[in-house]
């Protein structure tokens, strides 16, 4: 009697383990193929789910330093915010590359992103992680000289630096 009860239980456990193994394998595959795949080893992540290798390769500047770079016209500024927010106001001479539309937007602007000069990337503000996420994607596209404006557009605006519109830029 015990043998007959054990066999269906073993089969159930074996099937459950097989389903869990297939699910784990598919999850790892999707994570590996996704452009923002999560690191799988503890200690690989800093900030907004960005691997430490990205933080080591990307410089960060405050608004005053970004203004010096902007005045010298030695870098291209890249706005990660959505197109409506970009239209409402952005740093003059910036290029719009909305992070949430990267797959469709990148091919249209790729030729305008220089490899021979820095890209200063900014988003909404200090609680916005889009700049570092976009930096990660640009690193994967072969861009190496990346700078993130800490505090984003909010810091630029607080400093009284120019915007393309008198409308206060929308912040999140």
The model's confidence at residue 1, banded by pLDDT at 50, 70 and 90, is very low
> Same structural domain for residues 55 and 25?
no
Of 86 and 3, which is predicted with more confidence? Answer: 86
Q: How far apart are CA 64 and CA 149, in angstroms?
A: 10
Of 35 and 104, which is predicted with more confidence? Answer: 104
Token pair 């016209």: residue: 73
> Same structural domain for residues 138 and 64?
yes
Q: At 156, which helix (H) or strand (E)?
A: helix 152-158
> Same structural domain for residues 61 and 117?
yes
Is 39 part of a structural domain of the chain?
no
> Same structural domain for residues 79 and 140?
yes
> Same structural domain for residues 148 and 75?
yes
The pLDDT of residue 148 is above 70: yes
Q: How far apart are CA 78 and CA 137, in angstroms?
A: 13
Q: What is the mean pLDDT of residues 29-39?
A: 64
Q: What is the mean pLDDT of residues 19-36?
A: 77
The total of structural domains in the chain comes to: 2
Of 128 and 61, which is predicted with more confidence? Answer: 61
Using alpha carbons only, how large is the chain's radius of gyration in Å? 22
Is 20 part of a structural domain of the chain?
yes
> Same structural domain for residues 70 and 145?
yes
Q: What is the mean pLDDT of residues 53-79?
A: 93
> Same structural domain for residues 62 and 121?
yes
Q: What does DSSP assign to residue 1?
A: -
Q: What is the mean pLDDT of residues 144-164?
A: 95
Supply the CATH number for residue 59's domain.
3.40.250.10
Q: What is the mean pLDDT of residues 142-151?
A: 93
> Same structural domain for residues 18 and 100?
no
The pLDDT of residue 43 is above 70: no
> Same structural domain for residues 63 and 101?
yes
pTM above 0.75, yes or no: no
* Cα dist from 26 to 3, 20, 44, whole Å: 35, 10, 22
What's residue 53's pLDDT? 75
Domain span at 85: 50-158
State percent of the chain over pLDDT 70: 81
> Same structural domain for residues 23 and 55?
no
Is 40 part of a structural domain of the chain?
no
The model's confidence at residue 45, banded by pLDDT at 50, 70 and 90, is very low
What's residue 8's pLDDT? 86
What's residue 77's pLDDT? 98
């Amino acid at each position: 009697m015990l043998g007959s009860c054990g066999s269906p239980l073993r089969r159930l456990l074996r099937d459950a383990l097989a389903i869990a193994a297939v699910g784990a394998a598919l999850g790892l595959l999707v994570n590996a193929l996704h452009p923002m795949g999560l690191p799988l080893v503890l200690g690989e992540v800093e900030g907004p789910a960005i691997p430490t290798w990205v933080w080591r390769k990307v410089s960060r500047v405050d608004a005053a330093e970004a203004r010096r770079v902007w005045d010298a016209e030695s870098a291209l500024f890249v706005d990660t915010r959505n197109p409506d927010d970009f239209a409402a106001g952005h740093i003059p001479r910036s290029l719009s590359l909305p992070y949430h539309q990267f797959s469709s937007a990148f091919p249209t602007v790729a030729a305008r992103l220089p490899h021979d000069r820095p890209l200063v990337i900014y988003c909404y503000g200090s609680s916005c992680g889009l700049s570092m996420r976009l930096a990660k994607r640009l690193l994967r596209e072969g861009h190496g000289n990346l700078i993130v404006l800490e505090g984003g557009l909010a810091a630029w605006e607080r400093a009284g630096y120019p915007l393309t519109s008198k409308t206060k830029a929308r912040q999140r």
